[in-house]
Structure 1
Amino acid sequence: MATKKHVLLYNSNEPLPQQGGMERVTDLLAKALLNAGYKVTLLCKYPNRLGKIYNAPTDILYIPEDEDNQYFLETLIIECNIYCIIDQTEGGIVGRFGIFRYREDLKSKVKLIAVQHSSTRAVLDNYNLVFTKDFTQTRWGTVIQFFYNNVFLKLKYYHSVCLTKKLYDDLNTSYDRIVTLSSSFIDDFYYYCPKADRTKFFIIPNFNTFESCERTIGQKYVLFVGRLRNCVKGGDKLLRIWSEVEPLFPDWRLDIVGDGEDRGALETQAGNLGLKHVTFHGFQNPVLFYQRSRIFCMTSIYEGFGMVLTEAMQHGVVPMAFNSYSSVKDIIDDNINGILVKPFDEKEYADKLIGLMNDEEKYIEMSYAAMLKSAVFSKEIIVKKWCNLIENL
């Protein structure tokens, strides 16, 4: 590469990998583009949520709170000769919630790439589950519950649909390219923005977190890794599923790695269910847990991609997930390298988990197949897609 193009990689939060999927992806992408020969600068609004030191792989800048953000960014683009901005926030640079409202407000000729990390349609299709609340134990609980379910949630749903249409229209109008993690996301985008320009879309999934992994013979551990937020990750569903499984397998354990606002509620739920073989580990580096586990359980109501699935598969851990968001089928080929379950059918999930725990031959076969499938998301393959996109803007 004769001249290093300068890429500005924008994410709201400082991309400390332990925070979550988007932060991990941003950190990995910055390192990969640097290795590919690009000059990369990270741009953020906020420090990481964990209060930990982030050792950035390159220069990192923060949008000042007390200055003109538009002037700050325009000056940065000009002085640093920024070639393109990769916006990880779906409209954080230009749009109704962006630094600039309209593309014409941005005077420079910098190229803009929006990355669609989430499946908004999966959220809207499961709106009642995502925003469920229980008022039945409060005074006038039955009346409040009826109003919440039948009036408030419906109004909130229609407002969300309208907002999604406007946000997608902004992305289509203001950005030069739109990166989606799955071909199915393009269909979702068209569902809310029928006039979208198809030539703007590039399909680039997330690449593997780990450079290389060796398969280990898993011990009798089932693993969950993720934020403990029930309305998204469904940890309460997992505990109910495990309550059907645990009595049949007293020598197996469930590891829950992660933290979040619902940890206390989940620990209480585990106690109420009488679970003896569940351990809450909090935020941890999950590598050692992947290495010792046989089965990975995802119970999310929705995801964008679900990097924990490919992380597990890299280690030969067989993944299970609800078939609740479209890109999961890009990762798991059902009954070949993992298991998909009818959305939110906890009995079916428990039955299939029991079946896999009972079948050593099936586990070994699927474990090898999972590792093989994870190679599809190797860094070498995915970074080539990014380089092709950047070079042909």
Structure 2
Amino acid sequence: MKRKIMIVEDSHTVRRMLTQAIVQQTNLDVDAFDTLDATSDIAVDDYVVALVDLTLPDAPHGEAVAVLLTRGVPVVVLTADVSEDKRQSWLEAGVLDYVMKDSRHSLQYAVGLVHRLYLNQSIDVLVVDDSMTARHHTAAQLRKQLLQVHEAGHAKEALAMLERYPAIRLILIDYYMPDIDGITLVRMLRERYSKQQLAIIGLSVSDKRGLSARYLKQGANDFLHQPFEPEELQCRVSHNLEALEQFNSIQESANRDYLTGLYNRRYWFKTGQQWLQTAQAGRYPLSLCVLDVDHFKQVNDHWGHAIGDQLLCHLSDQLSQFFPDALIARFGGEEFALMVPHCSSQVLCKRLEGLRQQLRQRPLALDIPLYVRASFGVITMGQLGMDEALIEADRLLYQAKTTGRDKVVSQDEAQLEIAR
């Protein structure tokens, strides 16, 4: 995705404040210019959006807006004055939005708008409307917001689109459509997707009483009368996408271990059960490892709990690097688990041995000569249930602990030891 933001503003104060706020709050890259001429030699394809002042020394009458729009850069106007006529002319010219240079709130609005546009580059939306003219108009407005837009002319096509493009996160649905109307389609979608998975905005040109309420009662997140103002569409879309993102952020936090950032035990069991069912149905190997840091109490007693926490984070980072294909969780304390699909216990043991050797060679920090030592129990799950598999992996982990620690023990090795 594009990460660069352009600011064209002759006020040093405004330019500096915008630059600092965008960099600090969004971590995006900013190029700031004080004249239109300064932008003439740059590659405009690199920019998400340009924030452009209307009165520049070499473009005193808004010429910079027209020039940058012609060059294909999405533009947000920076202005100290706005009237209805000016606002309408900007929007008709293709300007995304305008920001008043009159308060700190306006500065925050600009930062939020920039961040929203940056995120929109990777968000898929769907417009469902049997009127090609209305559908294309709505889609064009959404594309101006840098969203990835798909279109459908009726409900069945919309359902097919959602199957084809599972990344769609927002759908705008007109009411009047052949065979299946918009409200019926909303009801059908809510049987498959929750409000946290898919946001729905109802659309209609009708002023029929109660239509918006019927949309909302069937599960729509929002409703918008047509024809709508571009700014209203932008605000409704942005608010619904932000609500989805906030929910996903909260859900992600609930699924993560607070210290290491790995998944927690609850999420691992829930998702792991799905992985196991899929592997058993597909008849491919799924291997499980339970591991435990050796002598962790001694680490805490000697080095302190802060260093102990660093050690757990160090191990977590190494696990994530060595096993990008695995479902990894901190079970609690110094115990971890990972599940790797399409991987036999023999292969997993080899990969874990590589991790174990790496841990032995890499200290926690240059000034902390502390190395992670861990024991591992490994099995291929086969037709075992989750509880049975964990009991067996725990047994193998215990065998590793009681036969010297700092080793990987699998089913095959355990059986070989018994035979001896």
TM-score, scaled relative to structure 1: 0.25
The structure showing larger relative contact order (alpha-carbon pairs under 8 Å, at least 6 residues apart) is: 1
TM-score, scaled relative to structure 2: 0.23
